[in-house]
Chains A and B, each alone.
Chain A
């Protein structure tokens, strides 16, 4: 017999009517979120030209992948599968319920033939089983939570909604079973038929069915109404946050326009963020969306080595302030703490791990900007680095080297307007530390050998990026302005960088200040030269472990090029954390100039590299090189860390003339 909707239920249509107030409450709740988030400022312009498909401010691709499909949640496979079973199970069950509504209201023939058998019967029962399995797993995990879920604050409310969902699914099955016990088996409904065969027929059965039906229906509607007031609101906020996130990795800080400060000075905006009202709407949406899952806490180099900072902790605090409407409460910075704000290495591992597209470093860096530019508060060594950057255009306090010492004894051409093709950008990190100077020398030797037309600036300066990462946007803007002016005067159009921080600064921030030049990181250039046969290398066949610099890998997705370079001089081996999930060396965000609390990040990473058994640790960033070299000292006296340029230089056939002997012995 064809299934009759609302069989055995008097006034079943009441459920359809009751769905209206439920949806109204749902809408009201979502409006409440919107009202809170709307209090934020507009986001900073990033000046990026992306060919991503957009619908208004929504980026369609990330909305669908990271938002709807939830691709990132599967990085923890068990949780991912449980979440997927629950989510897609509930999607199917909701679709089934809507079809029943459509049948009642518009006589849509869903209870006929194959569709009834395979979808309304088999698929929906399977969906129910899947959802139940998923939610039971998640409930058990909530009852015996891993540390990441509970640190700082657990997301209260999940257990209630999980029990609610279990009740809805279980009552659903029993309604089906009770109906089938009375009316005979449904095609395809394997769970319902099995339950039906066990339930009693008769008056009791009818009553049980009626009772369960109303419980199920009202519980479902109540849950829908409750969504915005429970952690389930991530059903709405997570896809929205994914779609509104500009699909570029990294904190996306943009630049600050200081022109309004040139005026009479009374109405100058407060720099950075000291209270919720200073943050952008995206920041507030981030705080609202954060589910406190703690995946960021698990990958954060600061949180994992005993620093005060946890990206989850920051988000929890922001969310609490937002929840209580403390928009103008400046105790926010004290609540998060200056130490925590300065401990962020801006490595963006948290962003990479976040399943709901939260941008934690962006919020942290805005608070840093406020501390530095408005309150002049910063850790002492960072203060010295800042001062040095301001006065000497490099942050290497106490260096024993002058700006040109790295090229003593070798002939390096200067960039000449109109004739030189590439500017080899020296910056600061390969000039003022002895260990990194050989990176620059190796690069010069390679470029000469490969016959590349290149030159350097007569005076080398920092890009200003360390200032920016330490929160001193003003100093960054000044230094960047000088560099851009000099580049324009010299007609520079192509730049080679050896430091990923320079690369990132040139490509992400300089264009916003009017720069127009192409930048190639040395990893990419080296791979190109090798592929084009401009340099021939002998492969030692020895194991070389490659450490991804955050600003080359995670921030700029340059992952395969340096690996290809390493593979052409040796045998590439990977650390457990590599590629986009690489672990920071500890230097980022100006933390090269800091006194670390707790375990040293660089020692943690150096140990991980050492444990691969490789005798050489390759990297493509002078800061990583310095940090890992230092970190390794705890475990070995051997000098194992090499830049990819040094490796290439040492394995060049008949090409290592003019390179210091120390470089050639790998």
Chain B
């Protein structure tokens, strides 16, 4: 029998991820909701079924089904100005049915503020509405370039407290050996995720970067599982094979320009945004995103784990953000950078204008910013997007001395 491709494996495991969660709930097992870059190692160690509302909201958005959920939460008094993942999820919490798949209600929620403070508010509300316990990992924003030792100590203390609380909640013992193994697997998966994303540095890139958005579901949901490692190991091998053949991202078009996409995708317009880029021969070869899950530390090293979780790029200062993108411009031989000014994410947005200026000054590559939203279809205009991309293409062409 022919080996499954990484994509087949991804689809199969994602379907199983959702159906197994529903089965677990039916069987009376504990289900957790967790933020996308939280220390899932603890839940995996305890054998707690975990689903990720951000991932689910993105799937609902990509299926163009967000409106009903948004309408429900807005009818409940949520402002249209807050994160649309939160609005979709808080609406889903009542409607409990989506063509994009369903997630069972949680018995426990697990929240890590290394991605934003918004998740604290969002999860606080879930906990209150459903009367379930919430475990918070608070990661103070790093205004210094490196994560300070005080923050690492604080984070480590929270991990230890969380372990004690999980023991109380489940009545089971936290198995240190198992924990060590999950830490090893999680790091291994993260390494392969990084490895796969780096293959796109080849020219032409064998990866059409929007694939990153698809595979992201697995790095969020399966980082602590051996199956997750396998998906990315296979994907990296497939990409290496394409690279060896000199294959580009598309069969029917040539990669003319290589860009970085800063921020979350516009899920309801995933295909539209992709097609506009492709029309101009623009391949998104990387994003600021992949490194979010490149959470690397030695198995058994709690300090290292605490530091790795605190180090997420969005939780780092402006200098780090600029260096990060400037480094990616070099590594991936980029021609331009696209900034998604995402109405849902003030945390990413309010540094973008300056980051764009500094990246341009440092690297010389042009940047463009467009207005959109991760899941609210009302906050995006395809016409504006296309105009901005067209301008970027023209600027990139002028820099390269070729016609667009």
Partners in one complex: no
